[in-house]
Amino acid sequence: MKTLAVIALKGGSGKTTVATHFALGAHLRGVDTLLVDIDPQHSAADILSAREAPGPAYVTSTGRNVLAAQFGALSQRKDLMIIDTPAGAVEAVSEAVVLADLAVLIVRPTLIDLSGLARSLMLVRRLGKPSVVVVNQAPPARETVEAPLVKRALKGLDYMQAAVAPVIVRSRSVYQTALERGRSAEEMSDRAAAAEIAALWDFVDATLAAPTQDAATG
Ligand SMILES: Nc1ncnc2c1ncn2[C@@H]1O[C@H](COP(=O)(O)OP(=O)(O)OP(=O)(O)O)[C@@H](O)[C@H]1O
Ligand SMILES: [Mg+2]
């Protein structure tokens, strides 16, 4: 079983949106998945509980109990466990990251989010875990040219020597509307969103299978 921790010490960056999309994406590909929601807000569990069709298993837990959840997932012979973590809770996030094969850091392309990301990156590096950064809620690129905001963010991430996912997640309303009923954007009619989130999952899945040297050094 592989374990993924989706983290960002900064609030509202998109952890729950990405974590639930990964759980749904894995489930849609036949991967037996458990999402462990250790955020006291339980947004990820609420999202998955709204799903009518069969979906990934989910459970609410805490940083302190996430190891017990992992033992449970192992005994249920799950293929994948995804942990959605709270903002600001260094201890709970650390408890998730120590149990993870890969930490996925979510960041919006703004200065305030990037400074928060530096702290998340330090935490992951201190724990010696492979990590990958996902830029989320980015404005659209014009042709293939990124908006200045995104260019600056990528430069900042370069300074931090962060491994950045090659797929940037754009700000799209379908990510909000799909999750209202526990569905992935992959199950909706917005083809660009479906392709984007599928490509991101494929990248993370491949990284999880064999973390690259880049991801390993963060
Ligand atoms: N790519 C996106 N496009 C449009 N809206 C998005 C996107 N990603 C996230 N959002 C919206 O941004 C808000 C915050 O997202 P989300 O709840 O996933 O963040 P979070 O990091 O889990 O927040 P918290 O720190 O409170 O747990 C939500 O309203 C969500 O629908
Ligand atoms: Mg959340």
Helices (DSSP H) in the chain: which residue ranges?
A: 15-28, 43-49, 66-75, 90-98, 111-126, 148-159, 173-180, 191-209, 213-217
**AA identity, residue 149:** L
Ligand 1 pocket residue status of 85, Cβ below 6 Å: no
Distance in angstroms (rounded) separating the CA atoms of residues 189 and 35? 25
Ligand 1 pocket residue status of 14, Cβ below 6 Å: yes
Taken in order 69, 136, 218, 216, the sign of the CA dihedral is positive
Decide if 103 contacts 121 (C-beta within 8 A).
no
Ligand 1 pocket residue status of 174, Cβ below 6 Å: no
Q: What share of the chain is helix, strand, coil (3-state, %, to 5)?
A: 45, 15, 35
Ligand 1 pocket residue status of 136, Cβ below 6 Å: yes
Domains of the chain, residue spans: 2-207
Decide if 131 contacts 164 (C-beta within 8 A).
no
- Closest ligand 1 atom to the C-alpha of 88? 25
For residue 4, how far is its CA from the centre of ligand 2 (angstroms)? 15
Q: Domain 2-207, CATH 3.30.930.10 — does that match?
A: no
Which residue lies with its CA nearest to atom 23 of ligand 1?
Answer: 12
For residue 40, how far is its CA from the centre of ligand 2 (angstroms)? 9
* Per-residue pLDDT in tens (0 to 9) along the chain, 218 residues: 999 999 999 999 999 999 999 999 999 999 999 999 999 999 999 999 999 999 999 999 999 999 999 999 999 999 999 999 999 999 999 999 999 999 999 999 999 999 999 999 999 999 999 999 999 999 999 988 999 999 999 999 999 999 999 999 999 999 999 999 999 999 999 999 999 999 999 999 999 998 554 454 44
